[in-house]
Amino acid sequence: YFSVAPSLFGDLASRLHKWELTNDQTRIVVEKPFGRDLASAKALNASLAEHFDEGQIYRIDHYLGKETVQNLMAVRFGNMLFEPLWNSQYVDHIQITVAETVGVGGRGDYYDRSGAMRDMVQNHLMQLLCLIAMEPPSKFDPDAVRDEKLKVIRALDPVAPHHVVRGQYDASPDGPSYREAVEDPRSRTESYVAMKVGISNWRWAGTPFYLRTGKRLVARSSEITVVFKELNHSIFGEKQDHRNTLSIRLQPNEGITLNVTIKEPGPGGMRLVDVPLDMTFADALGEEAEDPPDAYERLIMDVIRGNQTLFMRGDEVEAAWAWTDPIIAGWETRGDVPKPYDSGSAGPGDAVQMLARDTRVWREVKP
Ligand code: BG6
């Protein structure tokens, strides 16, 4: 289990081999970060490939071990209900939020060389995006699933500069600012990023995906929300502002909420109201759902069982970097400076404006 600096991966692999500590049954687990750009990820893949087959390499992204993340696939492909609507004809847009309350803490040295884009978007948010957007694999098998995820990444549009907002948290009474935490008063690394992403394929052309993640935000809350389109015609006359939304809460309080429009009870005409069909897994499924196993427990068990479905394949990681690299390169060339935001807020106001330009609003970040 290589939970070490990536610069050691190649040496570890070759020495394990040299001292005959491996055979064709050996599996190696590789922690993130898997490279910091496409070139370094390719070099890492090549150095591991010298001594191990792809089937022996388990690249961990612990988000794939989270119960509710796997549930994305169960909800989509285990129900007849959603899949027919899961496309640009019915879906207005999709929001993916991974909000954290923690700051960079004692990891300033690593984090300041990465930023939210490399630390969260290239891997965790990318995986969530893939699971939400991918075509149904023909079966729940490692390569069938990973082939479909790879197609999503390869169909991602390049991101225009005005479709990205970067932020850096300010100091608050209960914590230092980002720049103080990383001990660099001029750091230009982002602790927050929000972006509008397009997927150029038959299913999603025209439906934007809004992604955001940040540290020192108002709540620890990860959620994916599918916002369906407005009715194309209302028989009730009034201007409709009712939309169905399907929210999948990854953490905390794992669960799913479907907002449906019904008649407001009582006399006096037909007034419509949106109500949640709410299923908190802990309520519906009892104790086991209340305390799901740690993501790593699940993933390590899969390594022992030899199941790679929830691990990233080499080509997937490379494709994710190929999309990420130009975005980061653009910031570097332009000398982009992240926008400051208040610790304990929902992030920089520019992110709100980015959606407002599209006449949309972010979901509230709440615990
Ligand atoms: C890690 C990142 O991969 O994921 C951290 O390096 C981040 O910066 C963490 O805090 C978030 O994981 P979780 O499971 O707490 O959502």
Atom of ligand 1 nearest to the CA of 295: 14
| Model confidence, pTM | 0.95
With the most atoms of ligand 1 within 8 angstroms of its CB, the residue from 30, 34, 62, 107 to mutate is: 62
- For residue 94, the CA-to-ligand 1 centroid distance in Å is 22
Q: Higher pLDDT residue, 284 or 68?
A: 68
In this prediction, residue 366 carries a pLDDT of: 86
124 flagged as catalytic: yes
pLDDT in tens, 255-268: 899 999 998 888 87
Which one has a higher pLDDT value, 234 or 154? Answer: 154
Nearest-atom index, ligand 1, CA of 107? 8
What's the pLDDT at 272?
A: 87
Whole-number average pLDDT of the chain? 93
Q: For residue 66, which atom of ligand 1 is closest to its CA?
A: 14
* Ligand 1 atom, smallest distance to 98 CA: 16
| Joined tokens for residue 54 | 């792809």
- Return the higher-pLDDT residue of 278 and 320: 320
pLDDT at 123 over 90: yes
CA–centroid distance, 240 to ligand 1, in Å, is: 40
Distance 251 CA to ligand 1 centre (A): 12
Q: How confident is the model at residue 240 (pLDDT cuts 50, 70, 90)?
A: low
**Whose Cα sits closest to atom 9 in ligand 1?**
120
More confident call, 268 vs 288: 268
pLDDT band at 174 (very low <50, low <70, confident <90, very high): confident
Helical ranges in the chain per DSSP H = 9-18, 38-49, 67-77, 108-112, 115-116, 126-133, 142-154, 178-181, 281-285, 287-290, 295-305, 314-334, 349-356
Q: What is the distance in A from the centroid of ligand 1 to the CA of 155?
A: 26
184-198, 235-249, 335-349: least confident range:
235-249
Closest ligand 1 atom to residue 61 Cα is 3
| 54: phi then psi, degrees, rounded to nearest 5 | -55, -35
Residue 352 — pLDDT band, cuts 50, 70, 90? very high
Residue nearest to atom 6 of ligand 1 (CA): 119
Element (H, E) at 237: none
Two tokens, residue 146: 């990973």
Q: Which of 238, 242, 223 is nearest to 92 (CA)?
A: 242
In the reported structure, the alpha carbon of residue 244 is separated from the centroid of ligand 1 by a whole-number distance in angstroms of: 30
CA of 127 to the centre of ligand 1 (A): 13
Active-site hit among 51, 62, 93, 124: 124
- Among 30, 107, 119, which is best to mutate for testing ligand 1, by the most ligand atoms less than 8 A from CB? 119
> Which string of b and e fits 38-47 if b means at least 16 CB within 10 Å?
beebbebbeb
112 lines ligand 1 (CB under 6 A): no
Enter the tokens of residue 258: 């479907």
- Please give the pLDDT value at position 239: 66
Among protein residues, the one whose CA lies closest to atom 8 of ligand 1: 119
Contacts of 143 (CB under 8 A, 6+ apart): 313
State if residue 100 touches ligand 1 by the CB under 6 angstroms criterion.
yes
64 forms bridges with which residues in the sheet? none
CA distance 163 to 194: 8
Cβ(119) – ligand 1 distance below 6 Å = yes
Whether the pLDDT of residue 99 is over 70: the answer is yes
For residue 131, give both structure tokens.
């699971």
